[in-house]
Amino acid sequence: MKKSLQEIEKRHLIQTYARLPLVIEKGKGCWVWDDQGKKYLDFLSGLSVNALGHCHPRLVRVLREQAGRLIHISNLYYHAYQAPLAAELKRITHMDRVFFCNSGAEGIEGAIKLARSHGKKIRKGKFEIVALENSFHGRTTGALAATGQEKFRRDFEPLLPGVKFVRLNNLRDLKAAINRNTCAVLLEPIQGEGGVYELSREFLQTAATLAREKKALLILDEIQCGLGRTGRYLASQQFGITPDVLVLAKSLAGGLPMGAILAREEVAADLGPGMHGTTFGGGPLTCRVALEFLAVLKEENILQHVRTTGAYFKQQLKQLKSRHPMIREVRGRGLMLALDLDRPSRPIVLRAQERGLILNSTHGSAVRFLPPLILDAKLVDRAIRILEEVLCEAGKQEASEPPSSRAAVR
């Protein structure tokens, strides 16, 4: 790594990131290269942003073309791509109206405003939000208030009042928390940062039923698990659930910053003129690239490819688990997967990086996989070979340590 670059960042940037010691200079497909020319297999894809891999030729083509015509125009005016993109998102999600923003956290903020406005029109005291323990919805203040991990909230409290947290897939908790004062139930169909935990069919369907009975909105955060990541346009579609409000982001514009809030017709009316807005959201450049991203998903049959490759990858991870007792569980769906270890996962991620495989450590003990959706079986096999080497090395190191040291690691 270029030491001078690291030193410059330490002098000039607010130190909010514990960066890994790697300078990425270019990428193509499922690969990236560092500043020394070393090649890495990228199984993180910008935290699920680069869903079609790096520098997909169709995205690069429209990006270059549009950048030479019109990059930004105020939302005071029309441009050629926002309405067609909204129409395509409506088609694949079965929602009614769309608001474009710049990120997932911004989308959650808008969804919370929509829920509060909806609740207030029903009754003044209807403002409570039910969310999940272990959830993650973003780092802005409203999104953070609804994030069910105290480590993210503690330094910024008091936050937005009225949020209740319930345990994942616990129906008793859910039924006790939702009442006449609930304006929204906010859920990730698959918790991403929390370690890749799936909601059960019964839990999600019960949440939808209770929300409807109490005149609350069901808000689904599919920022990470949506747009093909699980082999469907939405992770919730496998359960036949259509929410009142849906939030998308991450891969929507193929690497450019973009989010979207989608709502049912009668719910969307609760945000009227002047109640919400954005300077950069839904600009011509991002909208045109997003349209191309969605076209690639459809025309290149990416969803079926994800289901096939994801099933193969999960099978290989389960076989890896059978050989390595330190793996407690394999979790996830499609190409959103995780290994849960009996120890901190960061050392495993660092060892894999040394061998040319980029992974992610999350929630302490989970190794998270968010590879590009264009991943193929040969690259899965390559990643499994590297993981095998890393886990064998970690096992040998553990065996050579005294029992007291091994206990401390756990």
Which amino acids are annotated catalytic?
136, 221, 250
- Quickly count: other Cβ atoms within 10 Å of residue 174's Cβ: 20
- Residue in 184, 192, 186 with CA at minimum distance from that of residue 211: 184
Contact 221, 326 (CB under 8 A): no
- Residue in 307, 51, 316, 331 with CA at minimum distance from that of residue 196: 331
- Quickly count: other Cβ atoms within 10 Å of residue 258's Cβ: 31
What CA–CA distance (Å, rounded) separates 283 from 289?
Answer: 10
CA angle, residues 84, 97, 215, in degrees to nearest 5: 165
What is the DSSP track for 340-404? EESS-SHHHHHHHHHTTEE-EEETTTEEEE---TT--HHHHHHHHHHHHHHHHHHHHHHHHS-HH
Residue 6's SS3 state is: helix
Query: What percent helix, strand, coil does the chain show, rounded to 5?
Result: 45, 20, 35
Instruction: Return the structure tokens found at 364.
Output: 């302490």
Q: Report the Cα 275 to chain-centroid distance in Å.
A: 27
Residue 255's SS3 state is: coil
Element (H, E) at 34: strand 31-34
> Residue 84: is the preceding peptide bond cis (ω within 30°)?
no
- Residue 125 pairs in a beta bridge with none
- Residue in 202, 243, 195, 208 with CA at minimum distance from that of residue 222: 243
What CA–CA distance (Å, rounded) separates 238 from 370?
Answer: 19
- Quickly count: other Cβ atoms within 10 Å of residue 60's Cβ: 15
